[in-house]
Amino acid sequence: MRNLVKLIACIFIYLVVQSCEEEPRMDYIDTNGEAPAQVSNIVVENTPGGAILKYKLNKDVNLAYVKAVYEITPGVLKESKSSIYSDTLKLEGFGNTQEHEVKVYSVGRNEKVSQPVIVKVKPLIPPVTLAYDDLSIETAFGGVRVRIKNQLKANLAIVIDADTAGKGVLRPLQTFYTAVDSGTFTVRGLSSKDMQFSVYLRDRWGNKSLAVVKNLTPLFEKSVPKPFAMYQLPTDQPALSGSYALTNMWDGVASAAIYASRNNTPMPQWFTVDLKIPVVLSRMKAHQRVQNFTYNYSCVKAFELWGSNNPASDGSWEGWSLIGKFNSFKPSGTPLGTLTAEDIAYGYRDGEDFEMPDTPPAYRYVRFKTTETWMLGANQVTISELSFWGEF
């Protein structure tokens, strides 16, 4: 009797489970059905380099999505699509303010396309042109410096060409990518001779600005030879351990071998470097910690550089002169924890350049004072490599 009850219970459970199973979904698409009706009541809002179209959807159950087709330049077509859950299409990629024709289609689930609704758009000045108005190029130590304002934070390429051979031919020198609202970008390693430079902007659709062309002579400088020497003063922040010594910052390579101060030490904190010879500093390069730490954690965000030829032995600031205050720059402008290839290249692989704001006296001893790290409250400082340039 007990076995019979168990059998009946099992059968009952099986039937309940079977009845609860979801029936497989069957989407029926009528391949012979007509194309859906057009959208209506289209309203155009022109934007920098584009436009926004708002419209009224039809009630055709066969409608899958709406698309706009338009030319951003002659012969170059672009599409913008929007689902049935939206009534807006965003158009972008125009490189001028001329009137452009846009065809708006309704597309069915069977991919049949309605007759187009034709509208006219007249984009506002595109970001690549707006940014050009504040684009400049000037001399720098060992190279040239480009300044840009990009108020719309558009994704732009800054293309720098130069006639380095002196044959009247501009050739690619370097390209920077950025989406920050303003910034400076510097090309280094050039001879101190007069040459022609060109800089222009390009957006991701291939639109280009006019070029700023100038003849410039990079300022002379030379690299301060490594290795430097440690000069530990009583108030300097000690390294976390021998594996994270100051000497890792002048081993000649940006790598996993870094300087790291002790954990849970307050800001500001500083260390001292002996350059071994008095140097009129022109610039300094700092490499942040390796990729996953770049622009994060204990990497330096703000610092001061001080110089002296006769530091006080008690570690005080007597005998020190402020050379400059500096801030780390993140090319992408993305939030903390987000890294782009350009960020990694600039902050870690190639290193950040910091040019002295004025020409200082010749100093043998340099004090690096960190005032802020990229993660507030990190209470530690990490640096992969330091290099200095100037006259000596």
pLDDT along the chain (392 residues), means of 10: 52 51 51 87 97 94 94 94 95 96 96 95 97 95 94 96 95 94 91 96 96 96 96 96 96 94 94 98 95 93 98 97 97 91 94 92 98 92 97 92
Domain boundary among 200, 216, 232: 216
Q: Which domain holds residue 212?
A: 127-216
The domain boundary residue, chosen from 201, 216, 231: 216
Report the alpha-carbon angle 302-185-202, nearest 5.
135
Backbone angles phi, psi at 225, to 5 degrees: -65, 145
What pLDDT, on a 0 to 100 scale, did the predictor assign at position 376?
Answer: 86
Which of 342, 364, 366, 340 is CA-nearest to residue 354? 366
> Residue 6: its pLDDT value, please?
53
In a domain, 101, yes or no: yes
Are 117 and 164 members of one domain? no
In-domain check, residue 13: no
Kind and range of the H or E element at 18? helix 2-20
Same domain, 133 and 114: no
Instruction: Identify the pLDDT of residue 17.
Output: 47
Domain check: are 117 and 144 in the same one?
A: no
Domain co-membership, 293 together with 386: yes
CATH of the domain at 202: 2.60.40.10
Say if residue 285 is in the same domain as residue 252.
yes
Residues 6+ apart with CB under 8 A from 142: 188, 189, 190, 218, 219, 221, 282, 283, 389
Shared-domain flag, residues 175 and 234: no
pLDDT of residue 154: 95
Q: Does 361 map to a domain?
A: yes
Q: Based on the fold, state whether residues 60 and 134 are members of the same structural domain.
A: no
- Per-residue confidence (pLDDT) for residue 53, from 0 to 100: 98
pLDDT of residue 32: 72
CA gap 101, 169 in Å, rounded: 39
Span between the terminal Cα atoms of the chain, in Å: 104
Residue pair 145/67 in contact by the 8 Å Cβ criterion: no
**Domain CATH code at residue 272:** 2.60.120.260
Asked if residue 262 and residue 144 are part of one domain, the reply reads no
Same domain, 205 and 249: no
Q: Does residue 172 sit within a domain?
A: yes
Q: Identify whether the C-beta of residue 123 lies closer than 8 Å to the C-beta of residue 100.
A: yes
Q: What is the pLDDT of residue 358?
A: 87
Q: Quick one: pLDDT at residue 7?
A: 53
CA distance 41 to 31: 28
Residue 24 in domain? no
Q: Is residue 189, in this structure, part of any structural domain at all?
A: yes
Cα 270 from Cα 323, distance rounded (Å): 15
| Per-residue tokens: 90 | 């965003």
Q: How far apart, in whole angstroms, are the C-alpha atoms of residue 98 and residue 129?
A: 14
Q: What is the number of domains present in the chain?
A: 3
Query: Which of 121, 156, 182 is the last residue before a domain boundary?
Result: 121
The answer to whether position 20 is within a domain reads no
Q: What is the largest distance, in Å, between two alpha-carbon atoms of the chain?
A: 106
282 phi-psi bin (left φ>0, alpha ψ -120 to 50, beta other):
alpha
Quick one: 243 and 111 in the same domain? no
| Cα 254 to Cα 193: distance, rounded to the nearest angstrom | 30
- Both 56 and 92 in one domain: the answer is yes
What pairing do the DSSP bridges indicate for beta strands 222-223 and 385-391? antiparallel
338 and 297 in one domain? yes
Residue-level pLDDT at 299: 97
Give a yes or no: residue 26 inside a domain.
Answer: no
Q: Tell me the three state secondary structure of residue 105.
A: strand
Alpha carbon distance 107, 71 (integer Å): 20
